Amino acid sequence: MSSPTSLNIAIQMDPPKGINPEKDSTYALGLEAQKRGHTLTYYNADSLSLKNGILTANCAALTFHDDKTNHCDLGSFSHKDLREFDIILMRNDFNDPMSYTAMTHMLDHLKTKTLVLNDPTGTRESPEKMLITHFPDLAPKTLITRDLDAIKAFASELGDLIIKPLNGFGGMGVYHITEDDDNLSSVYEMLCALHTEPFVVQQYIPEIKKGDKRIIVVEGEPIAAILRVPPQKSARANLAVGGTAEIGDITDRDRQICARLKPELVKRGLVFVGLDVIGDYVTEINPKSPTGLQHITKMQNIKCEETIWGAYEARYKAFKNAA
């Protein structure tokens, strides 16, 4: 598919030669961009420099190949003014919220010249585990705190619960505490030693045994889904920690959820997000660097990247018309 306008795209991501071309969603997005006639450039967020209001980065021309044994080429690096680009895709994840906050504030300087997707302000203000707290009826019963007494009272109310760090990702640091579990205080002490922010304490949803659904949502509309099924005797379904991928169905409840969330996602400039649903409840909304595109293509022959790029191009057209 070709686009009516060839766009100059910069991708902020981990080093391209180190990605897994069998699974990486940024790779799928890059190949689709090239099919549409767009040119790609790579830079790492660590190379960002803001000087007198001008944001630059150490950039290299990037070409993705539809060849898993030789998936990309990089040109030579040079510092470029990021206002030269039409669109910047933020496709790197950060476990350090302070670094992520600083990086998005730097990218905010581009707002009148270059379209950044997802929107850096909207992304910064929408942490994965916090955005859904504005829609409490769509989420499991949730407590966010560092207060052990509050956590114990919540556990007494709920019985089984999940406790996890506010800024964790990939299933790291997620603990299932059962009603008769004596380890709550020990888990709390360990989390306190590792994390300075509050913790997320949520009602345990038994449907996790059937899987944690990742829904690909584009401009508030559900496009496709995969079901991440946890190993036996585990409450963590993330593929990075041993979960297995199965085809996910988009239910009427999923569509109702997305209809509720759509106005807020669109307003915040969150064009492409990953919605995590267990049973009837949303546990997280991931706006940073959602994954799962290649799993969906292999299992369902749905190329979400085509829909995503259609949305990106529409956003760019609106951006230029508003300038």
User: In the chain, where does DSSP find H-type helix?
Assistant: 25-35, 97-107, 120-124, 148-158, 184-194, 252-267, 293-300, 304-322
Tell me the residue ranges of DSSP E strands in 13-97: 39-43, 49-51, 54-64, 72-74, 78-81, 87-90
φ/ψ of residue 40, rounded to 5: -115, 145
Residues labelled catalytic: 129, 164, 214, 228, 236, 276, 284, 286
Let me know: does 288 contact 90? Beta carbons within 8 Å: yes
User: Is residue 115 classed as helix, strand or coil in its secondary structure?
Assistant: strand
Tokens of 57: 């980065």
Closest CA to 197 of 228, 227, 162, 166: 166
Let me know: does 6 contact 38? Beta carbons within 8 Å: yes
**What is the Cα–Cα distance from 222 to 283, expressed in whole angstroms?**
16
Q: Which string of b and e fits 70-95 if b means at least 16 CB within 10 Å?
A: ebbeeeeeeebebeebbbbbbbbbbe
CA of 114: how far to CAs of 31, 90, 314, in Å?
Answer: 21, 13, 14
**What is the Cα–Cα distance from 199 to 163, expressed in whole angstroms?**
7
